[in-house]
Amino acid sequence: MKKSLLALAVLGAFAGAASAQTNVTIYGVADVGIQRIDTSATEARWGLDSGIQSGSRLGFKGSEDLGGGLSAIFTLESGYNIDTGTSAQGGRLFGRQAFVGLSGGFGAVKFGRQYTPIFIAHDTIDPFGTGIIGDGSGISAVFNPYGIRMDNTINYSLTAGPISGQIAYGFGEVAGENSAGRQIGASLGYANGPLTVVGAYHTANSPTVGSQADASTAFIGGVFDFRVVKLHGAFADNRGDSATGATAIRDRDYMLGVSAPIGGAGNVMASYTRHDQRLTGLGGADASYWALGYTHNLSKRTNLYTSYSTIRNDAGSAVGLPTGVAAGNDISWVNVGIRHKF
């Protein structure tokens, strides 16, 4: 932890000097809230939690004009827990993002630790984005254990008018078996006027040599803005095999949501996600996810938020449940907090 803080301090001290040659921006998010978590099998837990709406972070990003429309770009982003002052992402110095690359008329190519295309697609479509405990990532298999970020990754992205796309390849870096630990992702989107549509795919292989375990998710979703209200919809198909190659995951998620502005400063969101277990022999393992939330802007950078969400599990389902809580139990969250972006 001391080494992480020292490194961040050094980067901050030299940011001003670096900006003489490179356009460098220091940015971040401070997010904290009071949260109650309750399962039907345990007593409720109250706490002060970091990053409920958006993960708390401190970042450095910049670009250098290389001429001819070509620029060098970089981002170094560290996550932290504002409630305890500790590092997030398992203590990694730049656990949220760490990449360098080139951008120009051809698009952008980046090298390092980055968000997966499917995670960005989900954030674009879900009325809750990927926060406030209301988003559908809490129920979709793609986010557990793969799908949020990729290490050792080459990412290429391009936007041409209303169409955008990206493809990412993450090296497994396992000697003797190139496919072990490998991740591949891609997305293609269309945004024009009131309509936004995006499709994405992600696949990840086990890092164990000789294992046949893998997981993949195909995702498609859209948003239509009726001005007074936005309609959100998404579908995900999740598949996975065990180490022996046997089928281990076969399920689908369906999400329907709405969001609407209230006055000049508020926004209300609601969604319903259905988790449909399709694996033979696992009847009664479905789940339903309901969520309702509200954000209120105090300024361009600061807002208050609150939300309630609950997962109702069938007898054989354990979606969202903490370790030690038996399948078939339900879980709910309620929170109120503040977020400041700088």
The pTM for the full model equals 0.88
Tokens found for residue 70 = 């070509």
Taking Cα atoms as reference points, which of 211, 163, 210, 155 lies closest to residue 184? Answer: 155
Is 155:167 a contact under the CB 8 Å cutoff?
A: yes
Dist. CA 173–CA 221, nearest whole Å: 32
CA distance 23 to 36: 42
Of 40, 157, 166, nearest in space to 104 by CA: 157
CA–CA gap between residue 102 and residue 33 (Å, rounded): 38
Please provide residue 324's backbone torsions phi and psi, each rounded to the nearest 5 degrees.
Answer: 95, -10
- Which pLDDT score, from 0 to 100, does residue 7 have? 52
CA neighbours within 13 Å on the CB side: how many for 81? 13
- Name the CA dihedral angle for 185, 186, 191, 197, rounded to a multiple of 10 degrees: -80
CA distance 166 to 11: 30
Q: Nearest-CA neighbor of 141 among 10, 259, 318? A: 318
pLDDT tens track of the chain, all 342 residues? 554 555 555 555 545 554 446 799 999 999 999 999 999 998 999 999 999 999 999 999 999 999 999 999 999 999 999 999 999 999 999 999 999 999 999 999 999 999 999 999 999 999 999 877 666 665 665 555 567 899 999 999 999 999 999 999 999 999 988 899 999 999 999 999 999 999 999 999 988 887 878 899 999 999 999 999 999 999 999 998 888 878 788 999 999 999 999 999 999 999 999 999 988 776 788 999 999 999 999 999 999 999 999 999 999 998 888 888 999 999 999 999 999 999
Contact (CB, 8 A) for 1 and 79: no
Six token digits for residue 117: 């295309």
Residue 264 and residue 128: Cα distance in Å, rounded? 19
**Domain range 35-50+105-341, its CATH number among 3.40.50.300, 2.40.160.10, 3.30.70.2860, 3.30.70.1560:** 2.40.160.10
Pairing of strands 287-297, 266-277: antiparallel
Taking CA atoms, 2 is separated from 6, 7, 55, 60, 116, in Å, by 6, 9, 21, 19, 30
The pair of three-digit structure tokens given for residue 204, joined into one six-digit string: 């990840």
Q: Is 112 left (phi over 0), alpha (psi -120 to 50) or beta?
A: left
Alpha-carbon span 297 to 303, nearest angstrom: 4
**pLDDT for the residue 132:** 74
Pairwise CA distance, residues 140 & 320, whole Å:
10
pLDDT value, residue 281: 72
- Per-residue DSSP letter, 321: P
Three-state secondary structure call for residue 307: strand
Beta bridge partners of 159: 164
User: Which of 221, 303, 312, 322 has its CA nearest to residue 52?
Assistant: 303
CA distance 283 to 286: 8
User: Is 338 exposed, middle or buried, given 0-12, 13-18 or 19+ CB atoms closer than 10 A?
Assistant: middle
